[in-house]
Amino acid sequence: MSTLTRVPPRGDRRAGIVAAALELFADKGYLATTMDDIGRAVAMRGPSLYKHVASKQDLLVEIMERSIATVLRDHRIAVESTDDVREQLRRAVEAHVRFHARHRLEAFVGTRELRHLDEANRAVMLSLRKDYESGFRELVERGVAQGRFRVGSVKLAVYSILDMGVGVAVWFREGGEFSVDEVAYHYGDQALRLLGAD
């Protein structure tokens, strides 16, 4: 079997570079990965690589920005799909779990490598993550206000729900015992139980 890296079509160069960086960051870690490693993975030498990407930091930022944009979008779609807070919460949890099951590398890199963003990029990313957390907090608070949820601490309940998705990224494998949809539905049920939903 050939060990040559498939060179992506010219129009897909940037996407190929980002994909290679993601795999290398997940496997070796951000600090241990060099631009030369990324170039070798896409069969490009330094000068050619730098025509498509300015730095390793830019690649890490792009990976994280894409991930947070996706989860924020999916959360918004879930919440806007119904007016019932219980169902909004369930659908938001299912979207959260589906992302972490389908984008395991992104979830792993996003969690582990956040500390390697420069100060300005880290501040932006932390703000976006706070927005995502706030979306869940708003749902739980509204459910409590309506008498639909019963929790001792909204903050701890939200952290528990968010941790569910992160945990899925660790153990889930396509083709395993459970499908993505089965896991998402089960975790939706678990979240509602955690919240003492009516």
Q: In this predicted model, what pLDDT tens digit does every residue of 186-198 receive, in sequence order?
A: 999 999 999 999 7
Whether the per-residue pLDDT at 118 is higher than 90: the answer is yes
Q: How confident is the model at residue 154 (pLDDT cuts 50, 70, 90)?
A: very high
**Which range among 2-6, 57-61, 145-149, 167-171 shows the weakest confidence by mean pLDDT?**
2-6
- Give me the chain's average pLDDT, please: 92
pLDDT higher than 50, residue 9: no
Percent of the chain with pLDDT over 70: 94
HSE-CB of 60 using CA atoms within 13 angstroms: 26
> Using one digit for the tens of pLDDT, what is the confidence trace for 42-98?
999 877 888 889 999 999 999 999 999 999 999 999 999 999 999 999 999 999 999
Check pLDDT > 60 for residue 1.
no
Does residue 39 have a pLDDT over 60? Answer: yes
What is the number of other CB atoms lying within 10 angstroms of the CB of residue 184?
Answer: 25
Average pLDDT over residues 1-19: 61
What pTM value is reported for the model?
Answer: 0.88
- Candidate from 5-9, 54-58, 125-129 with smallest mean pLDDT: 5-9
Rg (CA), the chain: 19
C-alpha–C-alpha distance, residues 156 and 136, integer Å: 11
Give the per-residue pLDDT at 11: 53
Residues constituting the chain: 198
Looking at the predicted structure, is the pLDDT value of residue 13 above 90? no
| pLDDT at residue 198 in the model | 77
Hey, is 8 helix, strand or coil? coil
